[in-house]
Amino acid sequence: MQHAQWIRGAWILLLLLGLGLAAPVAKAVPSFARQTGMACEACHTVFPELTHFGRVFKANAFTLDNLKQVRDIDATKQELLSLATLPPLAAMVQVSQTWLNSPLPDGTGGPGKSQTSTVGFPQQISLFYAGKVAPHVGAMIQLTYGNDSGTIGIDNTDLRYANSVVLEHERSLIYGVSVNNNPTVQDLWNSTPAWGYPYASTNAGVSPLAGTEIDGGLAQDVAGISAYVMWNEALYGELGVYRSAKQGAANPITGAAGPLDGTTSNVISGVAPYGRVAYEYQWGRHNLEVGVYGANFKLLPGGGSVGTPAALSGPVNEFRDVAEDFQYQFVGDEHLFSLAGTRIHESMRLAASFAAGAVTNPSDDLTTIRVTGTYYYHRKLGAAITHFSTTGSVDSGLYPAGPAPGVITSANGSPDTKGWIAELNYLPWLNTKLSLQYTTYTQFNGGDNNYDGFGRNASANGSTYLLLWLTF
């Protein structure tokens, strides 16, 4: 009985959290350099962190170009076509080695242990189309092979239209629309989840149970459209909505890509609103951004199968994410420093899961805080340190204990996870990064010692990660 309850809890948990927690994170795209003729340093401090110029380039839909174009115009000189003679393609390879602090229990339930180290060769390979598509339209489309899935799939994608006008007193106003598949992937600062630190991390470690939806929980699982304005390259505002756009899901009756029914899990009911306001102030080589962002996702659990039907209607689980963020940058020729942080507060009203007996409380909350400081010397040698913390309501249904050593469990039903990431970086060239990253947990799934009830400590999930990251 206890085992069945655990299985059900784990299943609901997967439904609630989605599969986005292990989603690959940020990238840098050399095709932008090919298109603009400008070096990486124009848009990045060190990839993938954007400079002010990089943010404005993105807001302008990646359309600044200096390549020879195939053009067409009409009788009024209106541009009908402006297409680069060479497509803005780029690639990325990540090769890694991960050492876990402590081996995992053998999945067979026996006394054996897993290996502690994992080679990722490659951990990830990506192909990008990233650049101008038409005079005011640009795209960043990423296809990724990951060694965890062993397949190629769609990764972060952002299609944009943008234009600008000159206002009184020669202030600029950029306005545009983004169609994308990951809330915050369209954002301009590296303090928000999609492009936030850590820019790369192991996919052979142990991930904690809890994360907010806007923090990658729905990455590549949704489609959003948002309209934005940027005034005077300083004040940014955006409003949009997201709907589910499942990959690999099919209607069981037709076998076609849709419509979705109750056999699909975590489907957004209606549309989920998304909003963002940020202000960036520049002085000298410094700039400081402060902002807020948020979204409200109402998810239909679904997740039924032919044998156990679940209607894609009725009660929903609502996740209201409200977040604040900041980013300070000092961009010198010799020294570069940045400090970025975000605090995401998620209010959960879990009517659907509570009715199904899958959670203990009808409502929970979760708060994630991340603060990262980064330093580079001549864009060659760098170090970064991050403090991360996720805390929230105790809910033994949502964060269940396991019947046997299971690692991704919580003996006390708490999601509380805290720790540090320290990283050293060396870039012999601007598009080649060698990183050594150490992650340590002071608390994991609600405990520091014996968090799983079977003697595993939070520190056992720490890891050392060596990464070679090539973009070309």
Partner 1 sequence: MKRRLVSLSGTMVLGLGLGLAHADDIDAAARIAAQRVAVGTCATCHGPQGHSLSPKFPVLAGQHAKYLVAQLQAFKAQTRGDPDALGYMWGMAAPLNEELMTSLADYYSRQTPIAGPTGGAALITRGKDIYQNGDSAAGIPPCGGCHGAAAAGTDDFPRLAGQHVQYVMKQLRSFQNNMRNVAVMHGVARGLQLNDMEAVATYLQALGP
For partner 1, which residue of 5, 102, 116, 172 counts as binding (CB under 8 A)? 172
We find the least distance from the C-beta atom of residue 238 to partner 1, in angstroms, to be 19
Candidates 213, 203, 209; CA nearest to 149 is 203
CB of 232 to partner 1, least distance (A): 8
d(CA 183, CA 172): 26
The nearer residue to partner 1, 233 or 324, going by C-beta atoms, is: 233
Query: Is residue 159 close enough to count as binding partner 1 by CB under 8 A?
Result: no
Structural contact between residues 370 and 327, judged by C-beta atoms closer than 8 angstroms: no
In the block, residue with structure tokens 């977040």: 323
365, 416 Cβ separation under 8 angstroms: no
* Closest to partner 1 by CB, 34 or 456: 34
Q: Count of residues binding partner 1 (CB under 8 A)?
A: 28
If the CB atoms of residues 36 and 368 are measured against partner 1, the closer one turns out to be 36
- Overall size of the chain counted in residues: 472
Segment holding 43, helix H or strand E: helix 40-43
Q: Does 285 bind partner 1 (CB under 8 A)?
A: yes
When the beta carbons of 68 and 308 are compared against partner 1, the nearer one is: 68
Helix (H) or strand (E) holding 52: helix 52-59
Amino acid identity, residue 185? V
29 counts as binding partner 1 under rule CB under 8 A: no
Residue 326 Cβ, how far from partner 1 at the closest point, in Å?
19
Q: Is 282 in the site for partner 1 (CB under 8 A)?
A: yes
Contact between 166 and partner 1 (CB under 8 A)? yes
Choose which of 3, 66, 119, 270 interacts with partner 1 (CB under 8 A).
66
Is 98:204 a contact under the CB 8 Å cutoff?
yes
Q: Which of residues 181-210 bind partner 1 (CB under 8 A)?
A: none
Burial of 83 (0-12, 13-18, 19+ CB in 10 A): middle
Contact pick of 110, 255, 284, 428 for partner 1 (by CB under 8 A) = 284
Choice between 164 and 251, CB closer to partner 1? 164
65 sits near partner 1 (criterion: CB under 8 A):
yes
Q: Residue 162, interface with partner 1 (CB under 8 A)?
A: no
Nearer to partner 1, 66 or 305 (CB): 66
Closest CA to 181 of 151, 152, 153: 153
For 343-364, letters b (16+ CB in 10 Å) and e give ebbbebbbbbbbebebbbbeeb
Residue (11 or 472) nearer to partner 1, CB: 472
Rank residues 114 and 432 by Cβ distance to partner 1 and give the closer one: 432
380 touches partner 1 (CB under 8 A)? no
Nearest-angstrom CA–CA distance, 315 and 413: 24
How big is the CA angle at 272 (ends 295 and 220), to the nearest 5 degrees?
85
Contact 397, 359 (CB under 8 A): yes
Of 69 and 116, nearer to partner 1 (C-beta) is 69
Return the beta strands (E) in 196-316 as ranges: 222-231, 235-244, 265-268, 272-283, 286-302
Binding mask 36-55 for partner 1 (x = CB under 8 A): xxxx-xx---------xx--
- Of the candidate residues 13, 61, 64, 219, the single one contacting partner 1 (CB under 8 A): 64
CA atoms within 13 A on the CB side of 85: 5
**Which residue, 76 or 108, is less far from partner 1 as judged by CB?**
76
CB 284 within 8 A of CB 34: no
Q: Which residues pair with 227 in a beta bridge?
A: 177, 239
Which candidate, 370, 364, 368, 347, places its Cα nearest to that of 399?
364
Query: Is residue 311 involved in binding partner 1 (CB under 8 A)?
Result: no
**Least distance between partner 1 and beta carbon 159 (Å):** 21
> Among 126-134, 257-265, 277-285, 336-344, which window interacts with partner 1 (CB under 8 A)?
277-285
Which of 200, 295, 331, 460 is in the footprint of partner 1 by CB under 8 A?
Answer: 331
Establish if 168 lies at the interface with partner 1 (CB under 8 A): no
Cβ partners under 8 Å of residue 134, min gap 6: 81, 82, 83
Q: What residues numbered 232-261 form the site for partner 1, per CB under 8 A?
A: 232-233
Q: How far is the CB of 40 from partner 1 (least distance, A)?
A: 8
Q: Which residues here bind partner 1, judged by CB under 8 A? A: 36-39, 41-42, 52-53, 56, 60, 64-66, 164, 166, 170-172, 174, 232-233, 282-285, 331-333
